[in-house]
Amino acid sequence: MDSALIPKGVKRCPLWQFLLFIGAVGIVLLWGVYAMLLCWFKGLNQTNMNDYYGFALWIWADLAVIAVGGGAFFTGLLRYIFGKDELKNIINYAVLIGFICYSSALLILAIDIGQPLRGWFIFWHANVHSMLTEVAFCLSCYFGVLTIEYLPLVLENRQIDKVPFFHHLGHNMHEIMAVFAATGAFLSFFHQGSLGGVAGVLFGRPFAYREGVFIWPWTFFLFTWSAAACGPCFTILVTKITEKVTRKKLVKDNAIELLAKISGWMILTYIIAKTVDTWYWATVTAPSKGFTLMEFYSNNALYGIWILVAEILICGYIPAFILITKKGRKNPLGVWIAIILAVIGVCLNRWVMVLQVMAVPVMTFDHWALYYPSWQEVATTILPVAYGVILIAISYRYLPVFPNEAEMNPIEPLPEEAAAIEPSMAPEQELTPAEA
């Protein structure tokens, strides 16, 4: 029924099956939308946020999706600015994933601010002393850039491409994509960094506070670095999950391997810098504020030293060493382990820098304040995941997201078609496949 919209040369499941899948995920989406409406109409009392937790699950989700969405800006930088042509086979998907991540981040923020109708205040009445102002500016602008990067893919839909204006518009946008990609990289660098900077400048919270250079604490650079390092791993992870679901090879190995190799070296350099930063913080910065390292990791039910070990050793060094070695990258299981650990690692880092910061007592009479999200917070955090799955499913079905898909997955002719062309094939059947 919708075959006229499906890209040429590729096979898709029947429409009923597709609609059934969208419907199933749509139920989860509606659950999230219901929780979102509760938060908007009844207020933030629907959450478990309190005076300890002004930043809670939403801000962690926000920082996490922005970090893993970093694959879009970094892959775009490598493809359009550094000219890594192998990545042209995965850049569309990286952009789509980035688009989903950033639109999700904006959606979460729209819920978190409580009164979305006043969202424009941050632009018009900007507090220029706040790192979050820079985040809001760069996030919104970069979402605009991602929309511009995603638009040519939409315009390549078989039916839309027939309209001459849209055909030329998509072509022209491709031509100057390097300008948009460079702008996106510039914006990403600053908002990823400023999100880290927010934690690093909290001089009243020694668990987060870091020294730095000029106005930027070290966390500014570590956040940008970790997003550029782990974002591509998320792109590879989603690509591999898509390949498993569709039971097709969608991206050539050379593109995946190049991205994995670059990501591996980025993770290794990042995690060394993170180790040095942690060492200096534990031995110099925190003691200068009257704290020992173990005070941040004891006397509570959740945050033990395990979280530091998990973040740096297990989810940092292990994926880095797997991805920088050729043997590791050639081993499918090794790549799966590495990319999953890297994604968990960056999400864990964001959790620690948002939520553990809030939990640690800072006064002598204070206590550890643990927090459990309400179901409304959980539902609105799962909402973007459902939205992402739906957008990926629709894009995959109707847009040429993977340029090599048709070549790598040739469609077998139907039995009646094969029978029709059999006579003309007969003389060649005596030949070997190579000769034929």
Partner 1 sequence: MFPFNFEWIWDMGHTVFMGGLWYALTIIGIGMTYCIIKAAIDASKKNGEHHH
The β-bridge partners of 217 are: 212
Which of 143, 281 has the CB closer to partner 1? 143
Q: Are strands 216-217 and 212-213 parallel, antiparallel or unpaired?
A: antiparallel
Return the residues of window 181-200 that contact partner 1 according to CB under 8 A. 183, 186-187, 190
Task: Kindly state whether residue 179 participates in binding partner 1, applying the rule CB under 8 A.
Answer: yes
Rounded to 10 degrees, the C-alpha dihedral 377/381/384/390 comes to -90
Which stretches within 281-374 are classed as H helix?
286-288, 306-309, 318-324, 326-330, 332-351, 357-359
Nearest to 54 by CA among 132, 107, 119: 132
Closest CB to partner 1 among residues 180, 368: 180
Q: How far is the CB of 180 from partner 1 (least distance, A)?
A: 6
Closest to partner 1 by CB, 129 or 327: 129
Q: Between residues 8 and 125, which has the closer beta carbon with respect to partner 1?
A: 125
Q: How many helices (H) and strands (E) does the chain have?
A: 19, 2
Residues forming beta bridges with residue 216, ordered by sequence position: 213
**Greatest C-alpha distance within the chain:** 91
Specify the residue, 59 or 131, whose C-beta has the smaller distance to partner 1: 131
Could you say whether residue 164 binds partner 1 (CB under 8 A)?
yes
* CB proximity list for 346: less than 8 A, separation 6 or greater: 64, 67, 68, 226, 227, 229, 230, 315
Measuring CA to CA, which residue among 286, 278, 350, 332 is closest to residue 309? 278
Q: Helix, strand, coil proportions of the chain in percent (round to 5)?
A: 75, 0, 25
Pairwise CA distance, residues 73 & 79, whole Å? 10
Segment lying near partner 1 (by CB under 8 A), choices 17-25, 48-56, 168-176, 300-308 = 168-176
As a whole number of angstroms, the distance between CA 389 and CA 21 comes to 10
Q: Which of 1, 117, 128, 426 binds partner 1 (CB under 8 A)?
A: 128
Q: For residues 126 and 419, which CB has a smaller minimum distance to partner 1 in the complex?
A: 126
Stretch that binds partner 1, among 27-35, 173-181, 198-206, 301-309 (CB under 8 A): 173-181
In the complex with partner 1, the residue whose CB is nearer, 185 or 318, is: 185
Select from 11, 168, 330, 367 the one that contacts partner 1 (CB under 8 A): 168
Q: Which of 19, 24, 81, 123 binds partner 1 (CB under 8 A)?
A: 123
Closest CA to 9 of 170, 158, 187: 158
| Site size toward partner 1, by CB under 8 A | 30
Asked whether the beta carbons of 150 and 96 are under 8 A apart, the reply is: yes
When the beta carbons of 153 and 187 are compared against partner 1, the nearer one is 187
| Interaction pattern, residues 132-161, with partner 1; x per rule: CB under 8 A | -xx--xx--x--xx--x-------------
137-162 as b/e: b if 16+ CB within 10 A: bbbbbbbebbebbbbbbebbbeebee
Q: How far is CA 401 from CA 43, 150, 167, 171, in A?
A: 39, 10, 16, 16
Q: Shortest gap between Cβ of 142 and partner 1 (angstroms)? A: 9
Residue 299 Cβ vs partner 1, minimum distance, rounded to whole Å:
41
Q: If binding is defined by CB under 8 A, does position 126 make contact with partner 1?
A: yes
Q: How far is the CB of 234 from partner 1 (least distance, A)?
A: 25
Least spacing, CB of residue 175 vs partner 1, in Å: 8
Shorter beta-carbon distance to partner 1: residue 201 or 308: 201
Give one DSSP letter per residue of 113-150, joined into a string.
Answer: TS-GGGTTHHHHT--TT-HHHHHHHHHHHHHHHHHHHH
Q: Which stretch binds partner 1 (CB under 8 A): 53-61, 119-127, 275-283, 399-407?
A: 119-127
Among 124, 214, 365, 372, binds partner 1 (CB under 8 A): 124
| Minimum CB distance to partner 1, residue 212 (Å) | 18
Residue 169 as a binder of partner 1 (CB under 8 A): the answer is yes
Residue closer to partner 1, measured from CB, 167 or 248: 167
Which CB atom, from 13 or from 179, has the smaller least distance to partner 1?
Answer: 179
Closer CB to partner 1, 187 or 359, in the complex: 187
The amino acid sitting at 293 is: L
Determine, following the binding rule CB under 8 A, whether residue 214 of this chain makes contact with partner 1: no
Answer for which of 17, 115, 172, 292 binds partner 1 (CB under 8 A) is 172
In a 3-state reduction of DSSP, which class is residue 213? strand
Which of 13, 37, 176, 241 binds partner 1 (CB under 8 A)? It is: 176
CA 414, 416, 422, 424 torsion: positive or negative?
negative
Give the footprint of partner 1 on this chain (CB under 8 A): 123-126, 128-129, 133-134, 137-138, 141, 144-145, 148, 164-169, 171-173, 176, 179-180, 183, 186-187, 190
